[in-house]
């Protein structure tokens, strides 16, 4: 297979690695696709040339894929995240985002026509993903592609931006003049959230890595705190109406909760339903997750007066059209780090895994440093106590 191109795209690398895909046929019964036959490392991914393309259901659209992006969900699913749901359904096709052209439409599809350029994203639990020459999405998961961006740029946007949209618009219902804190503004979802909130007229603060600071400030954030070097609570001024926590570990949850006004919304992307179901099986894991969520909701409501939510990506045609409008107006973009050919899918996953580990290590190192500093202060404190 020919490598189409490998490039670094403006303005600085972040989260998105993309594969350019495509075929010259317009109607197909089988096509190339990347299969996940079992869970594991990047080596388990298999590019096959004769994967059947199922018949379309009445509301579905066949999209000839020109580019698909690699989200953290893809690498996590490949490693076994969600196995309680997906294991009986193997082999899967990974991939949520796609940008391409409409190759065929089913009977009840009214808003799109064959040949039209579109972009969109599948629901997190879709089994036939987009790592294929031909992807199938429902009509409400697609929108005309913004003309101002390439397929590569377009395919980086929908899944991340729709996740941010759901949290900010459906859950927190952000409004002009409100204050929003985005924990993890350097990532795709966080960066989309900053741009969506700025477009609404919110005042946005964010935490991100050093290399992301210029980018998030240029996107309209009013304050950017380097989580690898600064004490977030010491640096941030005032309280917030909403916190979107894309990292969702205990420390960021504690910080987010403490920085909220009464009546504010704390939203984490790291809901525990899938992890608990993977650990205990669906019949036990799901009720345990529901009980845990309920407990936290009650606890935070009564102790802090705030709304606590696990938030998930959902297809939302109104959201996708607004995302398209903002992209076209130059107000929303997700930088692309590197582009791979579909035949390089293993390398693409390796690169995404490596980046995740690096960020994790940087974060761990900083947390460890804070811990050592805390121990040091405690030590000094106890010495002075003894001296008294
Ligand atoms: N619930 C859902 O439906 C849903 C949907 C989409 C994503 N997610 C999850 O949300 C998370 C983010 O997704 P994404 O697509 O935005 O990932 P991404 O583009 O890979 O971004 C990850 C970024 O997080 C930043 N980061 C890491 N640790 C941090 C910390 N302690 N504080 C602040 N920033 C930190 C890093 O930014 P810097 O480069 O600035 O260091 C890193 O680049 C992933 O875990 C993903 O699985 C959930």
CA distances from 192 to 74, 118, 148, 281 (A): 19, 19, 17, 33
Report the CATH architecture of 160-269.
Answer: 3-Layer(aba) Sandwich (3.40)
Does 105 score more than 60 pLDDT?
yes
- Say if residues 93 and 48 touch (Cβ distance below 8 Å): no
Domain boundary assignment for the chain: 14-156+335-379, 160-269
Closest residue to atom 8 of ligand 1, CA basis: 269
Does 27 score more than 90 pLDDT?
no
pLDDT digits (tens, 9 = 90+) for 140-162: 999 999 999 999 999 999 999 99
Ligand 1, closest atom to CA 363?
31
- pLDDT value for 388: 20
Look up the pTM and report it.
0.88
Q: How confident is the model at residue 361 (pLDDT cuts 50, 70, 90)?
A: very low
Does 344 score more than 60 pLDDT?
yes
- Dmax (CA) of the chain: 84
Please provide the average confidence, as pLDDT, over all residues in the chain: 88
| CB atoms near residue 155 (< 10 Å) | 34
Q: What is the mean pLDDT of residues 255-261?
A: 97
Ligand 1, closest atom to CA 366?
31
pLDDT digits (tens, 9 = 90+) for 3-17: 223 333 333 333 344
Q: What is the mean pLDDT of residues 50-67?
A: 97
- pLDDT value for 369: 41
Element (H, E) at 63: strand 60-70
Decide the pairing of beta strands 179-183 and 203-208.
parallel
pLDDT digits (tens, 9 = 90+) for 184-207: 999 999 999 999 999 999 999 999
SS3 at position 95: coil
> Whole-angstrom distance between the N-terminal and C-terminal Cα of the chain?
75
CA–CA dist 255, 116 (Å, integer): 46
Q: How confident is the model at residue 266 (pLDDT cuts 50, 70, 90)?
A: very high
What is the third-level CATH fold of 14-156+335-379?
Quinone Oxidoreductase; Chain A, domain 1 (3.90.180)
- Say if residues 157 and 332 touch (Cβ distance below 8 Å): yes
- pLDDT value for 28: 86
Taking the CA atoms of the chain, what radius of gyration do you get in angstroms?
22
Q: How confident is the model at residue 356 (pLDDT cuts 50, 70, 90)?
A: confident
Q: How confident is the model at residue 382 (pLDDT cuts 50, 70, 90)?
A: very low
SS3 at position 100: strand
Does 274 score more than 70 pLDDT?
yes
- pLDDT value for 26: 46
Pocket of ligand 1 (CB under 6 A): 14-15, 71-73, 76, 124, 160, 163, 183-184, 186-190, 207-209, 212, 227, 246-247, 269, 271, 312-313, 359, 363
CA–CA dist 184, 269 (Å, integer): 11
Ligand 1, closest atom to CA 359?
27
């Amino acid at each position: 297979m020919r490598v189409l191109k490998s490039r670094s795209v403006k303005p600085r690398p972040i989260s998105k690695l993309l594969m350019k895909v495509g075929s010259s046929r317009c109607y197909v019964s089988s096509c190339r696709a990347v299969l996940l036959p079992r869970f594991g490392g990047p080596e388990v991914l298999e590019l096959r040339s004769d994967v059947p393309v199922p018949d379309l259901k009445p509301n579905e659209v066949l999209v000839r894929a020109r580019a698909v992006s690699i989200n953290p969900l893809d690498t996590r699913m490949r490693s076994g995240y969600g196995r309680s749901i997906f294991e009986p359904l193997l082999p899967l096709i990974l991939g949520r985002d796609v940008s391409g052209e409409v190759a065929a439409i089913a009977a009840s599809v009214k808003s799109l026509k064959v040949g039209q350029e579109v972009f969109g994203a599948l629901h997190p639990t879709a089994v036939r993903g987009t790592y294929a020459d031909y992807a199938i999405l429902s009509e409400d998961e697609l929108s005309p592609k913004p003309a101002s961006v390439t397929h590569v740029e377009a395919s980086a946007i929908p899944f991340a931006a729709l996740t941010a949209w759901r949290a900010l618009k459906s859950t927190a219902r952000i409004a002009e003049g409100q204050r929003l804190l985005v924990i993890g503004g350097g990532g795709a979802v966080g960066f989309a959230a900053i741009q969506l909130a700025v477009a609404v007229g919110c005042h946005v603060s964010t935490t991100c890595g050093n290399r992301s600071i210029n980018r998030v400030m240029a996107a309209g954030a009013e304050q950017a705190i380097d989580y690898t070097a600064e004490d977030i609570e010491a640096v941030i001024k005032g309280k917030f109406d909403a916190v979107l926590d894309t990292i969702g570990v205990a420390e960021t949850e504690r910080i987010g909760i403490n920085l909220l006004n009464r009546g504010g919304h704390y939203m984490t992307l790291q809901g525990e339903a899938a992890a608990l179901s993977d650990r205990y099986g669906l019949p036990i894991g799901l009720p345990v997750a529901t009980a845990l969520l309920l407990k936290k909701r009650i606890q935070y409501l009564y102790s802090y007066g705030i709304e606590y939510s696990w938030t998930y990506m959902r297809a939302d045609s109104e959201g996708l059209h607004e995302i398209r409008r903002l992209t076209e107006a130059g107000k929303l973009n997700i930088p692309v780090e590197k582009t791979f050919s579909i035949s390089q899918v293993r390398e693409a996953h390796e690169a995404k895994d490596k980046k995740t580990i690096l960020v994790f290590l940087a974060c761990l190192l900083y947390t460890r440093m804070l811990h050592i500093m805390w121990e040091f202060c405690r030590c000094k404190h106890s010495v002075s106590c003894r001296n008294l």
